[in-house]
Every structure is written in structure tokens, then in C-alpha cells.
Amino acid sequence: MDDRYIIDTPENIEFAYDIAGIGSRFLAAIIDTFLITAAQIIIFLLVGLIISRLDMNLGVGGGVLVAAATLLAFVLLWGYYIAFELLWNGQSPGKRLIGLRVVRDGGRPITFVGSAIRNLIRIADFLPALYGIGVVVMFIDRRSRRLGDLAGGTLVVKERRSVTLASLTEPGAVAPPLIRPGETLPQPTLPNIELVNERDYTLIQEFLRRRNELGKDARTRLGMQLAQGMQTRLGLQFTGDPERFLQDIAGNYQLLRRHQQLESELP
């Protein structure tokens, strides 16, 4: 079973997600099941309270209320996951707490159709009890997918930490330029640096920040792929250390953005 899902970007750069294992998915499912069950219990308690207050019996009026509550509980059971996965981009409350996310094959955001299919087939995964079939299929599939994931073209991955100003200034990433009072902001020295976009910069910084977490072979391979992709983008030739080349790109991009910011602040 692979614990990494490799994606090729349009720039022919590989990027990896960590695949969620059975244990973390089971914890998320426990949380979601608890919330769904609690909501369903509240629904039936409210119906029971209404019937009691209105002094109804289980005749026509009471039967209608019970039927409505049963239908609402069913909609809640299946609509809970679909609604949250669309609202929170592939996360239910349980997955958000555990740090998981549902994505489509290729790493793209989940769609309504994909979410609906994977959750409607949840009943088959649940059989005979406690996700019996689903767990067996997840053990067999190299990406830990259950039947719903296979049918919906989805998989569950571990949530990657968001890239923030704090994370970009951690050891490994290139920190924004620090200019002391009276100093002049230097100009970018790398040709065609304006061709770098925010997505390129974020990808480079994420690699530089997390490179020490990678194995030697993976770090060398991914660093070379990123450097070659940026070499093509900028129309440059680099020699030597690809990581140094990526650091130069990140530093020059920060200088460019800082100059653009200062120009926009001019009266």
C-alpha cells in the first residue's frame, strides 16, 4: 500500500499528498457518526415533545410527524457528508478535526457528483456492520479507498498545512527581505523574474520549507524537477545546486513584489 499520492502539475512537476490511513479515517468517521446520531436523537426528541404537548396519539397527526422526522433523519444521514464536503471543500467536521480531506483523482477539489456517489454507496461499505466491506476494500486498495471512493473517483488525503507568512519564514524557506531605516531596497538580479507567478513562488517556498522532511532521493528528484520547470519558465540555464537556484528565484520574487508594493503606495 502506497502512503504517497504523486500528482503531475501542468509544469511537469510532481507534487505529493499523504494518503489517509484506515486509523485516521475511522476516527473521523466516529466523530461524524456521533454528530449525526446526536442530531437524529434531537429530531425525534423534539417530535416526541411536540406530540406530548399537543396531546396527540400515534394516529394521523402523530404518524405524519413521525414520518416527517424519519425522512428528515434519513436526509441528515446522507446529506450531512455531501453538504459539508461541498461547503468545506472535501471536509466533514470529523475530517476537519483529524486533518483529512477528500479530493478527486488528480488532486482536484471534489464535486457534487463525486461527493453524492461516494456517500450514496456508503451503505454498501458499511455492510455487514461498522464499515466491514469498506475496511476490507481499503486494505486491498493501494490508496486506501473504499467502494464509495472507487465509484466516485475520489480519495482521502491528509490535509497539508496552509502556507502562511509564519510558515514561509520558518527555517528552510526564504524569508522576505529585511530593510533597515536608511537602506535602499535592492533590485532583482534574476532575468525574467516577472514571469514567476504566485503559484510558482508558493510551490518553491513549500518545497524549501519541507525539504528536510523528505528522503535524500525524493529531495534531490523534486528539487531538480522544480528547478528544471522554473528554468523553462524563465528561459535560463542554471548550473550547480538546484536548491540554490530555487532560493535565488524566491528571493528575487520577493524583491520584485516589494518594489511593486512600494510603487503602488506612491501618491
Chain segment 114-134, per-residue pLDDT in tens: 999 999 898 888 777 767 788
What is the DSSP code (8-state) at residue 141? S
Query: Residue 10: which of 253, 220, 233 has the closest Cα?
Result: 233
Given a cut of 80, is residue 184 above it in pLDDT? no
Question: Is the Cβ–Cβ distance between 92 and 84 less than 8 Å?
Answer: yes
**Distance, CA of 177 to CA of 211 (rounded, Å):** 21
> What's the rounded mean pLDDT across residues 15-37?
86
Q: Which residue has the higher pLDDT, 17 or 163?
A: 17
Q: What's the gap between Cα 244 and its chain centre?
A: 29
For residues 72-83, average pLDDT? 88
Question: In the chain, what are the domain boundaries?
Answer: 4-158, 165-260
Question: β-strand 4-8 against 14-18: which pairing, if any?
Answer: antiparallel
What is the average pLDDT value for the chain, to the nearest integer? 81
Strands 4-8 and 154-158, by their bridges, are unpaired
Q: Rounded to the nearest 5 degrees, what angle is found at the Cα of 42, between the Cα atoms of 72 and 55?
A: 90
Burial of 203 by CB count in 10 Å (0-12 exposed, 13-18 middle, 19+ buried)? buried
Nearest of 2, 86, 83, 4 to residue 39 by alpha carbon: 83
pLDDT at residue 79 is higher than 80: yes
For residue 30, how many C-alpha atoms fall within 13 Å in the half-sphere facing its CB? 7
Per-residue confidence (pLDDT) for residue 81, from 0 to 100 = 93
C-alpha cell at 173: 524557506
pLDDT in tens, 217-266: 778 888 888 898 898 888 888 778 899 999 999 989 988 888 888 777 76
Question: 82: pLDDT confidence band, cut at 50, 70 and 90?
Answer: very high
Of 159-173, 187-201, 217-231, 233-247, minimum mean pLDDT range: 159-173
The answer to whether 158 touches 100, Cβ cutoff 8 Å, is yes
Share of the chain above pLDDT 90, in %: 21
Number of helices and strands in the chain (H, E) = 11, 4
C-alpha cell at 237: 540555464
Mean pLDDT of 102-112: 85
Identify whether the C-beta of residue 252 lies closer than 8 Å to the C-beta of residue 244: no
Instruction: Please tell me the predicted confidence (pLDDT) of residue 141.
Output: 86
Alpha-carbon distance of 24 to 22, in angstroms, equals 6
- At 168 the pLDDT is 45
- 3-class DSSP state for residue 15? strand
